[in-house]
């Protein structure tokens, strides 16, 4: 596949992974040893917050009272969409029972994790949508206890809209803690909470590293890096809409890649012309993020045909994949590697980020090659069981004994032997590997 790059990324990093890992390990160790007091010290140091950590019902209600009714209506609209989609996902899995052979029955059960910890970013932006995405899915999955954790602002606390959203979606506890100390509090069961079985939600590199280090002791949704987006476009695409969709995702941060692959060179050239102009119309913080991301991380490429577009998509395995081209069903059938797919000009990544119903906690950095995004399934364990009659297990016992001996696992073999001897006295079985 021939690719012509009209713009190539210049990857940059300011803080090495080793440095981040060292800092996070030290903080986690100190909080695990020091408990609530250590977490509160880090809240004072990093968040400049010394208020109540575990919100009371009165504090939650007071925060809700500060949220304008129109925003509440919008949050409920998004929540309803996300909840309905999550409920449909849950219905796609369930308990199974099959009689594999006469008298040999096996099955699976879908069991939700007991305690879920949901991290909701609140630094540069108040991520209302992250509370919607993480808490709602945990609630639909059936988790017994759900913690929502979000960074407080100095002398203020968590943004009222985040508090309102977390409570609406079903959080049992809301913690005013950010960063590593917030992740640690959920994982270690601080402030009177149960230890989380799974930690979910986006965050900065320190939050992501804390989850990575804790993985194994707890489950996590995924290893997350900076958000990324790829647009596939042909000559039918509107260059202004393509340009705005790229800028809209670039404002996430200086290290958020956005890519355009197109079969139409004039479109690519027009988008290259439009994007810098559009960026300058944004508010200062958004403008700075988008400008840096576009300068250092963005790529614009031209390929020969739609097959080339599909190859680029599967090679990049983007978090967000937006097709603005003819014959959308062709792309839906063919594309394989993406976190979430947006088909046509009539939808956009921002819809999925905020209110359409699909989840916005998605695999980044090419991880869409092997995993999908957050869903009710992430909170559920698919476990198996079996039972058998004595006659039904007879053939299984014989095969198990012989396979075990071939592997050199005599103890395994004899757990089968003893059952055959007990259940079928007087019968002769060849349980060696010489037959």
Active site residues: 319-320
Please, which residues bridge with residue 115 across strands? 145
Burial class from Cβ neighbours inside 10 Å (0-12, 13-18, 19+) for residue 253 reads: middle
Confirm if 122 and 148 have CB atoms less than 8 A apart.
no
Paired tokens of 411? 């103890």
Give the distance from CA 150 to its chain's centroid. 17
C-alpha torsion sign, points 7, 371, 175, 196: negative
Cα separations (Å) of 11 from 108, 204, 321? 45, 18, 21
Paired tokens of 181? 């100390």
- List of residues 6+ apart from 310 with CB closer than 8 A: 232, 331, 334, 335
Distance in angstroms (rounded) separating the CA atoms of residues 64 and 51 = 18
Residue with tokens 């100390």: 181
Residue with tokens 């969409």: 81
For residue 234, how many other CB atoms are within 10 A of its CB? 17
Confirm if 110 and 191 have CB atoms less than 8 A apart.
no
Burial class from Cβ neighbours inside 10 Å (0-12, 13-18, 19+) for residue 329 reads: exposed
Of the candidates 216, 220, 217, 41, the one whose C-alpha atom is nearest the C-alpha of residue 119 is 220
Please, which residues bridge with residue 324 across strands? 233
């Amino acid at each position: 596949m021939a690719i012509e790059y009209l713009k190539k990324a210049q990857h940059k990093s300011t803080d090495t992974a080793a440095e981040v890992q060292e800092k996070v390990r030290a903080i986690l160790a100190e909080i695990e040893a020091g408990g609530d007091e250590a977490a509160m010290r880090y809240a004072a140091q990093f968040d400049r917050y010394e208020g109540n950590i575990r919100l009371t019902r009165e504090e939650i209600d007071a925060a809700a009272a500060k949220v304008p009714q129109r925003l509440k209506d919008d949050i409920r609209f998004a929540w309803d969409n996300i909840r309905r989609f999550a409920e449909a996902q849950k219905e796609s899995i369930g308990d199974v029972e099959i009689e594999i052979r006469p008298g040999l029955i096996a099955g699976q059960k879908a069991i939700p994790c007991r305690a879920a910890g949901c991290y909701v970013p609140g630094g540069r932006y108040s991520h209302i949508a992250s509370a919607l995405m993480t808490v709602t899915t945990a609630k639909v999955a059936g988790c017994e206890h759900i913690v929502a954790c979000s960074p407080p602002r100095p002398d203020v606390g968590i943004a009222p809209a985040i508090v309102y959203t977390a409570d609406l979606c079903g959080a049992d506890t809301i913690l005013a803690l950010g960063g590593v100390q917030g992740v640690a509090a959920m994982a270690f069961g601080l402030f009177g909470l149960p230890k989380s079985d799974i930690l979910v939600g986006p965050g900065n590199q320190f939050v992501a590293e804390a989850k990575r280090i804790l993985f194994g002791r707890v489950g996590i949704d995924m290893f997350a890096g900076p958000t990324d987006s790829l647009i596939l476009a042909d000559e039918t695409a509107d260059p202004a809409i393509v340009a705005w969709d790229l800028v809209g995702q670039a404002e996430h941060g200086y290290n958020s890649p956005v890519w355009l692959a197109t079969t139409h060179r004039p479109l690519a050239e027009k988008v290259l012309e439009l994007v810098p102009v559009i960026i300058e119309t944004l508010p200062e913080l958004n403008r700075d993020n988008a400008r840096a991301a576009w300068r250092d991380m963005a790529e614009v490429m031209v390929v020969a045909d739609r097959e080339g577009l599909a190859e680029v998509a599967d090679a990049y395995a983007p978090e967000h994949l937006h097709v603005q081209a003819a014959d959308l069903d062709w792309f839906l059938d063919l594309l394989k590697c993406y976190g979430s797919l947006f088909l046509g000009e009539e939808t956009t990544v921002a819809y999925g980020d905020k209110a359409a119903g699909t989840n916005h906690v998605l695999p980044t950095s090419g991880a869409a090659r092997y995993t999908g995004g957050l869903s009710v399934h992430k909170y559920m364990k698919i476990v198996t069981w079996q039972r058998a009659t004595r006659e039904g297990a007879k053939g299984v016992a014989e095969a198990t004994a012989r396979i075990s001996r071939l592997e050199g696992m005599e103890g395994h073999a004899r757990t089968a032997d003893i059952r055959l001897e007990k259940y079928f006295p007087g019968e002769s079985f060849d349980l060696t590997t010489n037959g």
